[in-house]
Amino acid sequence: MSGSDGSLLAPLTAGEWGDDEYAAFGALMALPGEKVPRAGSGHAADPLKFDIIGLLARHPKMARRFLTFNGWLLQRGELPLRLRELAVLRVAITRRSAFFWGEHFKVATEGGVPEEDIARLAKGNDGFVGVDRLVLDATDELIRHGRAEESTWRRLTEELGTHQAMELIFVVGTYAMLAMAFDTWRLAPPAGSAPLPAPPATNTVPL
């Protein structure tokens, strides 16, 4: 199941998609499996266009449950897209995940995050103020220590409310886990993805 490009695990081919795999992809989109476009159809949501889904679907029962949760975080969570994507991009640059930097550069910019803000994020946290800076600092603490400091948690709940503060922890944890998985499997970012910047001189978390 390794890929010809040097990856250690390859996405499913068109002939490997079945009912369980379509149900897993459907969980991300809140659709029943039978309504998911068929692999190789050329549809905008053709599973073959999403290597990340094709990899996760190699374990369809696990993928279905995980993608239900991840889909909720991305589509129905209360944490604003800007704050969520700042956190995900911080995870990507800290964990040196070219795949997730490329993917979430696109998600962030399509969601209205200015490219100049992403460029500043790549240099560290000093260019940010207010809740942006709070979220980035909290993300750094979560990655570095496996927890946010008590003072940080209190500030998060004061600024964001308990629901959004809780979601931030799960966003950081989810994407740190995904980066670990996809970097293990050597998944390359799609052609044309924004390149992973050099690590910032400050705010870099040792691994």
What span, in angstroms and rounded, lies between the C-alpha atoms of 155 and 170?
17
Q: Look at residue 205 in the predicted model and tell me its pLDDT.
A: 44
In terms of DSSP H, where are the helices of the chain?
Answer: 19-29, 51-56, 60-75, 81-94, 98-110, 115-121, 130-145, 150-160, 162-184
Distant-in-sequence, close-in-space partners of 18: CB < 8 Å, separation ≥ 6: none
Q: pLDDT tens for the chain, 207 residues: list them.
A: 666 667 899 999 999 999 999 999 999 988 999 999 999 999 999 999 999 999 999 999 999 999 999 999 999 999 999 999 999 999 999 999 999 999 999 999 999 999 999 999 999 999 999 999 999 999 999 999 999 999 999 999 999 999 999 999 999 999 999 999 999 999 989 889 999 998 877 544 444
For residues 172 and 148, what is the distance between their CA atoms, to the nearest angstrom? 11
* Sign of the alpha-carbon dihedral angle for 139, 122, 108, 10: negative
Give the chain's domains with CATH numbers: 14-75 (no CATH), 81-184 (1.20.1290.10)
CA 104 – CA 82 distance, rounded (Å): 11
Burial class (CB in 10 A: 0-12, 13-18, 19+), 97: buried
Q: Residue length, the chain?
A: 207
89/117 Cα distance (integer angstroms): 11
3-state secondary structure at position 77: coil
Three-state DSSP state, 118: helix
Residue with structure tokens 């979430």?
104
Q: What is the pLDDT of residues 124-172, one digit of tens each?
A: 999 999 999 999 999 999 999 999 999 999 999 999 999 999 999 999 9
Separation between Cα atoms, residue 75 and residue 60, nearest integer Å:
21
